[in-house]
Amino acid sequence: MNSIDSKSWKEKFEESELARLKLVQRLDDEPQNDDNRCLELQAENNRLKDEINNLREEYIQFTSIVSHDFCAPLRHITNGADLLESSLPQPLSEDTEEFLEIIKTAGIRLSNLVEALLSYSREQRHESNPEFIELNQVVADVLSAFDDTITEDNIAFHHDDLPRIYADLSDIKRILYILIDNAIKYRKPALDGHYVSIKHTRLKAGDDDQAIKQDKLCLTVTDNGIGFDNKHVSDIFKPLKRLVPRERYEGAGVGLAIAKKIVSRYAGTIEAIGEKGNGASFNITLSVPIYDSDSNHI
């Protein structure tokens, strides 16, 4: 595979997608009685869609290969640092300890970054398997991963009585894990009274005052943590983009990008509203069938 930088891929995506959108517009404008011309334009539209899909697949493969190629050397670096530390005469000097710690910390950080890139790449190929999901149970399962932190830091958590939906369990659990993880992680240091809440609303298909063609579930995850400046809101869902120093808060900066990718599979939206020093809210909408809890009836 030829080495192509991400900017080149992005430009090709944009050019192909723009050409396809223009073609779709031309299809709409063509006289309906010109069957041959419409067939030609439809064939060109299909060709452009195939080109976009091929570019996407090439990008996924490139990311996966590069990430995997990094894994082995990184293991050698971190393992080598451990072996070097154990083979040196003890006690180590302060400078030696500092240098070894720098190597190990950098190796671990880069390993986490590579794993995050692989996770983002895998998300592109995920195939959904919908089933009936009890959202209350999903939230409980996700929270169990944070039991120690919630107890030790006295974090208050509240969520609505959530409905049952029909969706892919791993998709929904991943979204909630990412949003809850961020809400807990980005709390103010030494704050007594950190809270996280999940609220929901339901928009039903056919509501007279809404142009809704399918049920929509709206979830809002809110916290009173460090927040963020809203002028950076356009960056918050970009892969590897971080708004806080890595030294203070761990993370690779791909969680919200993954959440956005998953939400898009449900013809949904994800938005963030923050205030620096005063918390943040993340609002998601998912086009999914919504049912009464413990029932298969809408």
Q: Find tokens 């956005």 and name the residue.
A: 260
- Indicate the class that CATH gives domain 130-291: alpha beta
Predicted structure pTM score:
0.69
Domain assignments of the chain as residue spans, ordered by start: 6-123, 130-291
Q: What is the CATH T-level fold of the domain 6-123, as seen in this structure?
A: Helix Hairpins (1.10.287)
The rounded percent of the chain whose pLDDT value lies above 90 is 34
* Strand order, beta sheet including 290-291: 130-134, 164-168, 290-291
Q: What is the pLDDT of residue 143?
A: 96
Q: What is the pLDDT of residues 269-285, one digit of tens each?
A: 999 999 998 999 999 99
What is the distance between the alpha carbons of residues 126 and 121, in angstroms, rounded to a whole number? Answer: 9
Which two three-digit tokens encode residue 119? 């996770």
The rounded percent of the chain whose pLDDT value lies above 70 is 76
Which two three-digit tokens encode residue 167? 């969706």
* Cβ proximity of 262 and 171 under 8 Å: yes
Which value, in Å, is the radius of gyration of the alpha carbons in the chain? 24
Mean pLDDT confidence for 23-48: 67
pLDDT bucket at 131, cuts 50 / 70 / 90: very high
Q: What is the pLDDT of residue 201?
A: 94
Mean pLDDT confidence for 128-143: 94
CA distances from 65 to 6, 40, 241 (A): 14, 37, 22
Q: What is the pLDDT of residue 208?
A: 45
Q: Which of 89-103, 151-165, 280-294 has the highest mean pLDDT?
A: 151-165
Q: What is the pLDDT of residues 136-170, one digit of tens each?
A: 999 999 999 999 999 988 899 999 999 999 999 99
